[in-house]
Structure 1
Amino acid sequence: MRFMIIVKATAETEQGCMPTAALMAEMGRYHEELAQAGVLLDGSGLKPTAQGWRVRYAAGGRTVTDGPFTETKELIAGYTLIQVRSRDEALEWTRRFPNPRGQGLEAEIEVRQLFEMEDFAGIEGVEKFTSLDAMRG
């Protein structure tokens, strides 16, 4: 089972403020523990939305809008992707996730389970994704 730990954006992350050395060290230790346990698949911070864009789809086609985007509670500042045996194991790891803003500050992470290929069994076209999965190794 794969889970994504989503770090919610804040005004600071949207301004491009970098984490403190102490927070980087704490996050580094946590991700090292994940790696040593064999559950870490990936993890990274995201640059502010001022350096990104959105593509909106409508009946009339697509519209591209450059960032920044103002509603930070809907934005993502980073993620960690883990693969574990159960939802309970994922919950245990996420309970240990360091506060992404630092001790004593308000912050939020969200955890979402990823779909697996077997979740799409019987849906026409899924074989294309299955073959891509096999190519990735």
Structure 2
Amino acid sequence: MRVMVIVKADKQSEAGVMPSEELLAAMGRYNEELVKAGIMQAGEGLHPSSKGVRVHFSGSKRTVVDGPFAETKELIAGFWIWKVASMQEAIDWVKRCPNPQMGDSDIEIRRIFEAEDFGEAFTPELREQEDRLRAQIEAQSKAG
């Protein structure tokens, strides 16, 4: 199964405070372990919400709201995409992670939907489209 491992933002990450060289090195070592174990599929840090926008949907209307956003505890500072055998395996790996923030921090783990999770609504035509799009994405990432 695939999971998204979400590093929650804090006041420092939202203020744009960059991680120390020590934390960058520790995260680099941790990411190497994840890659060697065949778990990590992607992982990135995110700029603070002050550099982001939200698009609010209400029927056919779209409203763009510029950051920063008030609720730091609801914001994301970074993420990984992992392929693991179970949620327990993901938990075990997160417990080994260096603390991603200077103070207390939270990391959330969420399962990513797979095609079979959608049941009959995910028709053979939709499955074929999904497979085609994934192949195009992979080809583009190799070319770019």
> Quick check: TM above 0.5?
yes
Stretches of structure 2 lacking an aligned partner (at least 5 in a row): 139-144
Q: Which runs of structure 2 are paired with 1:1-137 in the superposition (5 Å)?
A: 1-59=1-59, 61-102=61-102, 105-124=103-122, 126-127=126-127, 128-136=129-137
Stretches of structure 1 lacking an aligned partner (at least 5 in a row): none
TM-score by length of 2: 0.86
Provide the rounded CA distance (Å) in 1 between the counterparts of 2:107 and 2:88. 17
Runs of 4 or more above 3 Å deviation: 134-137
Higher-helix-fraction structure: 2
- Asked if structure 1 preserves the Cα contact closer than 8 Å seen for 2:115 and 2:122, the reply is no
Provide the rounded CA distance (Å) in 1 between the counterparts of 2:122 and 2:35. 36
CA-based RMSD: 1.6
1:26 is aligned with what amino acid? A
Compute the displacement of 1:60 (Å).
5.2
CA offset digits 1:29-52 (Å, max 9, x no partner): 110000011111010100011111
Compute the displacement of 1:124 (Å).
4.8
Provide the rounded CA distance (Å) in 2 between the counterparts of 1:121 and 1:134. 22
- Asked if structure 2 preserves the Cα contact closer than 8 Å seen for 1:117 and 1:130, the reply is no
Compute the displacement of 1:120 (Å).
1.5
